[in-house]
Structure 1
Amino acid sequence: MPQIKVGLIGGGGIASAHIRGYREHADKIGITAVADAVEQTAADRGAELGATPYSDYRRMLEAEGLDAVDICLPHHLHRDAIVAAAEAGKHILCEKPLCLTAEEAAAVRAAVTASGVTLMCAHNQLFLPAVAKAKELLDAGTIGTVYEVRTTDSFYNDFDPTTMGWRASSSTSGGGELIDTGYHPTYLMLHLAGGSPVEATAMLSTHRLKFMEGEDSAQVMVRFDNGVVGQLVTSWAYQPAASTERFSAVGELGALHSDGTSLSWQLRSGETRTVDLEPVDTFAAEIGHFADSLLTKTRPLHTEDEGIAVLGILLAAYEGARTKTIAPVLAK
């Protein structure tokens, strides 16, 4: 048996990427039970993993001697699963977004605080080597005081009305592309900016996927309490131009930028460097980090604190777009 026994809540979609991570770290963490409302999905995943299947995760929490859960559910179901797991005393890994409203965020924080369990937000892109190296340079003051951070996550998505499922409805997704794929460049911006978000606004568009209730593209601006201004672009409608950086930061002493694989920085002193970094399976790295955090009783890279801060940015961006104003970040 693995050192850490995990119950998988939600066996479809993104669960496959998580399962790769558990297989890579099978010496310390593993899935011993799986719950999915679709009984066949639960049975199939159970057979695949050698895990006990359940059609109700609450029954799984009661019946199994689990240490933790991994929540891979549609967005609108995250809050209830987190609260149930916390009340059962289980540590939690939760896919993005953490939840959908400020009220849900308050319930999540209260449940996790009361139980004393560890909650880790599944922000896999933070485990890109280029991101880790950039964060190291920023924290070391290599480009001095940071003025601006930009992030991009756009691609041509081939969703159609028959394949989009729950993501087509704002009531189950929480909005549109911004709170889905757009969550990635938002937590990346937060990570690199190094401050707490104060205010945000957005321009939302539906360029191509017009059967969606929400937007398929967004441009967002965010101000942080340390003076950093963030800009992000995210879309399911199009591939970005070839010269578009995955992320960049500009500071008093110079700048850095990355395509997600290599990282370059240029200083006003004339120093210029580029490093090429070996790719990793970010989901496997994420699962390993979760396991290590539990085994060593150390804080994960992103907890409910960062998950709520990211949600706060997105809610303020949506409010700014709706009212054509710059909106305060309320969920922190």
Structure 2
Amino acid sequence: MPQIKVGLIGGGGIAGAHIRGYAEHADRIGITAVADAVEATAVARGDELGATAYVDYREMLASADIDAVDICLPHHLHRDAIIAAAEAGKHILCEKPLCLTADEAADVRKAVQENGVTLMCAHNQLFLPAVAKAKELLEAGTIGTVYEVRTTDSFFNDFDPSSMGWRASSRTSGGGELIDTGYHPTYLMLHLAGGSPVEATAMLSTHRLKFMEGEDSAQVLIRFDNGAVGQLVTSWAYQPAPGTERFSAVGELGSLTSDGSSLTYKLRSGETETFDLEPVDTFVAEIGHFADSLLGRTRPIHTEEEGIAVLGILLAAYEGSRTKTIAPVLQIP
């Protein structure tokens, strides 16, 4: 048996990527129970993993011998599953977004803190080697005080009305593309900017996926309390133009930029260096980090605190777009 026994909540979609991670770290952490509201999915995943299958995750929480849960549910179901797991004393790995509203975020924070469990946000792109190297350089002051951070996550998505499912509804997705794929460049920006977000605005568009209720593309501006300003582009409608960076930062001494694989910094002094980094499976790295955090009793790279900060950026961006203003990022108690 693994050292950490996990109950998987939601066996479809992104769960497959998480399962790869558990397979690579089977000596330390593994799925021993799985719950899915679709019985056929629960049974199939249970057979695949040698795990006990449930159709109700609350029953799993009450009866399964597990230490933690991995929540891979549609967005609108995250809050209730987090609270149920926390109240059952289980540690939590939760897919993005953490939840959908300020009230839900307050409920999540309260449940996690009152029950003394660890919650890790499944922000897999933080485990890109280029992101880790960029964070190292920024914290070392290589480019000095950071003035600007830019992040991009855009691709041509072939969703259609028959395949989009719950993502087509703003009620269940929480908005549109921005709170879904756009969550990735938002948490990446938070990670690199080195401050707390204070205000944001956005221009939202639906260029191509006109059957969905929310936007399929967004451009977002964010100000942080350390003075850094973030620019974010994200879309399901199109591939970015050739040469568009995955992320970049500009500071008083120079800049750094990355296509997601390599990383280059260039200083005004003329010093420059390029790092060609070995690719990793970010989901495998994410699961390994979750195991390390629980076994070592250390803080995960992103907890509910960062999850709430990312949600605050997105809610302010949506509000700024709606009111055509720059909206404050709510401080969620």
Please give the range of the TM-score, normalised by the shorter of the 2 chains. Answer: over 0.9
SS of residue in 2 equivalent to 1:265? strand
Give the equivalent residue in structure 2 for 1:223.
223
Shift in Å at residue 331 of structure 1? 4.2
Q: Show CA shifts across 1:95-149 (max 9, x none).
A: 0000000000000000000000000000000000000000000000000000000
Paired amino acid for 1:21: G
Give the equivalent residue in structure 2 for 1:153.
153
Give the equivalent residue in structure 2 for 1:259.
259
Paired amino acid for 1:225: D
Q: Show CA shifts across 1:47-84 (max 9, x none).
A: 00000000000000000121000000000000000000
Give the equivalent residue in structure 1 for 2:70.
70
Paired amino acid for 1:129: P
Q: Show CA shifts across 1:147-169 (max 9, x none).
A: 00000000000000000000000
Give the equivalent residue in structure 2 for 1:324.
324
Give the equivalent residue in structure 2 for 1:36.
36
SS of residue in 1 equivalent to 2:245? coil
Q: TM-score, normalised by structure 2?
A: 0.99
Paired amino acid for 1:260: G
SS of residue in 2 equivalent to 1:43? helix
What aligned pairs does 1:85-100 form with structure 2 within 5 A after superposition? 85-100=85-100
Give the equivalent residue in structure 2 for 1:7.
7
SS of residue in 2 equivalent to 1:158? coil
Give the equivalent residue in structure 1 for 2:169.
169
Paired amino acid for 1:10: G
Could you list the runs of 4 or more consecutive aligned residues of structure 1 that deviate by over 3 angstroms after TM superposition?
Answer: none
Shift in Å at residue 180 of structure 1? 0.1
Give the Cα separation in 2 of the matches to 1:5 and 1:77: 22
Give the Cα separation in 2 of the matches to 1:195 and 1:16: 34
What aligned pairs does 1:18-33 form with structure 2 within 5 A after superposition? 18-33=18-33
Give the Cα separation in 1 of the matches to 2:39 and 2:196: 42
What aligned pairs does 1:1-332 form with structure 2 within 5 A after superposition? 1-332=1-332
Paired amino acid for 2:13: G
Q: TM-score, normalised by structure 1?
A: 1.00
Give the Cα separation in 2 of the matches to 1:242 and 1:285: 28
Give the Cα separation in 2 of the matches to 1:213 and 1:66: 38
SS of residue in 2 equivalent to 1:17? helix
| 5+ residue gaps, structure 2 | none
Paired amino acid for 1:292: D
Is the contact made by 1:105 and 1:331 (CA closer than 8 Å) also made in structure 2? no
Paired amino acid for 2:117: V
SS of residue in 2 equivalent to 1:318? helix
Paired amino acid for 2:20: R
Paired amino acid for 1:62: A
Give the Cα separation in 2 of the matches to 1:133 and 1:37: 41
SS of residue in 1 equivalent to 2:178? coil
SS of residue in 1 equivalent to 2:199? strand
Shift in Å at residue 86 of structure 1? 0.1
Q: Show CA shifts across 1:24-49 (max 9, x none).
A: 00000000000000000000000000
Is the contact made by 1:255 and 1:265 (CA closer than 8 Å) also made in structure 2? yes
SS of residue in 2 equivalent to 1:308? helix
Give the Cα separation in 2 of the matches to 1:153 and 1:172: 22
Paired amino acid for 2:69: V
Is the contact made by 1:311 and 1:331 (CA closer than 8 Å) also made in structure 2? no
